[in-house]
Structure 1
Amino acid sequence: MELRHVRSFLAIADELHFGRAAARLHLAQPSLSQHLRQLERSVGVELVSRNSREVRLTPAGVVFRELAGDIVERVQRAEEAARAAAAGRAGTIRVGYNFPAGRRVLPGTLARFDARHREVDVVMAEMRTGPQLAALQDGRLDVAMVYGEPASNGLRSRRLLRVPLVAVVGLEHRWAGRDGVPFEELAGESCILFHRAQSSAMYDAIFSAARASGIRLNVAEEVDDPGATAIIAAVKPLVGFASALRGGFAQAAPGGPGTTTVRLYDPVPLLDLYAVWNADPGPLVESFLRCLPDANDRLRA
Structure 2
Amino acid sequence: MEFRHLVSYLALAEELHFGRAAAKLHLTQPSLSQQLQRLERRLGVTLVVRTSHEVRLTPAGEVFRDHARSIVRHMERAAQAAREAADGRFGTVRIGYNFSAWQEVLPNVLVAMHERYPHIVVELSELRSGPQLAALAAGELDIAFCDGRPATAGLRHRPLMRVPIVALVGTGHPWAKLPRVDFADLAGRPCIMFAREQSPAMYDAIMAAADRRGIRLTIAHQVDDLSATAIVAATQPVVAFVSAHRGAHMAAGGLGSVAVPFAEPAPAVELHAVWREDDDPSTVRAFLTCLDSAFVRPHT
TM-score > 0.5 by shorter chain: yes
Amino acid corresponding to residue 189 of structure 2 in structure 1: E
How far 1:200 sits from its partner (Å)? 0.9
Q: In the alignment, is residue 102 of structure 1 matched against residue 102 of structure 2?
A: yes
Q: How does 1:164-179 map to 2 (within 5 A)?
A: 164-179=164-179
1:286 aligns with 285
User: What does the per-residue CA deviation read over 1:166-219, in whole Å, with 9 as the maximum and x for residues that have no partner?
Assistant: 111222334322333332333433333333222111111122222223333343
Q: In the alignment, is residue 192 of structure 1 matched against residue 168 of structure 2?
A: no
Q: Distance in 2 between matches of 1:233 and 1:192?
A: 8
Q: How does 1:191-230 map to 2 (within 5 A)?
A: 191-230=191-230
TM-score after normalising by structure 2: 0.83
1:274 aligns with 272
Q: In the alignment, is residue 262 of structure 1 matched against residue 260 of structure 2?
A: yes
1:33 aligns with 33
SS at match of 1:233: helix
Q: How does 1:1-301 map to 2 (within 5 A)?
A: 1-42=1-42, 44-46=43-45, 48-52=47-51, 53-114=53-114, 116-118=116-118, 120-253=120-253, 256-265=254-263, 268-279=266-277, 281-292=280-291, 298-299=297-298
Contact 1:163–1:271 (8 Å) recurs in 2: yes
Q: Which moved more, 1:118-127 or 1:227-236?
A: 118-127
Q: Distance in 2 between matches of 1:146 and 1:298?
A: 15
Cα–Cα, structure 1 residues 171 and 60, in superposed 2: closer, same or farther, change >3 Å?
Answer: farther
Contact 1:105–1:293 (8 Å) recurs in 2: no
Output the aligned Cα RMSD. Answer: 3.0
How far 1:6 sits from its partner (Å)? 1.9
How far 1:300 sits from its partner (Å)? 5.3
How far 1:41 sits from its partner (Å)? 4.5
Q: Among the aligned pairs, what percent are the same residue?
A: 52
Q: Distance in 2 between matches of 1:251 and 1:245?
A: 10
SS at match of 1:188: coil
How far 1:13 sits from its partner (Å)? 2.3
Cα–Cα, structure 1 residues 139 and 8, in superposed 2: closer, same or farther, change >3 Å?
Answer: farther
Q: Distance in 2 between matches of 1:41 and 1:229?
A: 77
Q: Distance in 2 between matches of 1:192 and 1:75?
A: 61
Cα–Cα, structure 1 residues 58 and 267, in superposed 2: closer, same or farther, change >3 Å?
Answer: same
SS at match of 1:245: helix
Q: Which moved more, 1:275-284 or 1:244-253?
A: 275-284
Cα–Cα, structure 1 residues 283 and 54, in superposed 2: closer, same or farther, change >3 Å?
Answer: same
Amino acid corresponding to residue 297 of structure 2 in structure 1: R
Contact 1:156–1:278 (8 Å) recurs in 2: yes
Q: Distance in 2 between matches of 1:64 and 1:236?
A: 79
Contact 1:133–1:144 (8 Å) recurs in 2: yes
Q: How many residues align?
A: 297
Contact 1:88–1:283 (8 Å) recurs in 2: yes
How far 1:48 sits from its partner (Å)? 0.6
Amino acid corresponding to residue 48 of structure 1 in structure 2: L
Consecutive unaligned residues of structure 2, counting only runs of 5 or more, are none
Amino acid corresponding to residue 272 of structure 1 in structure 2: E
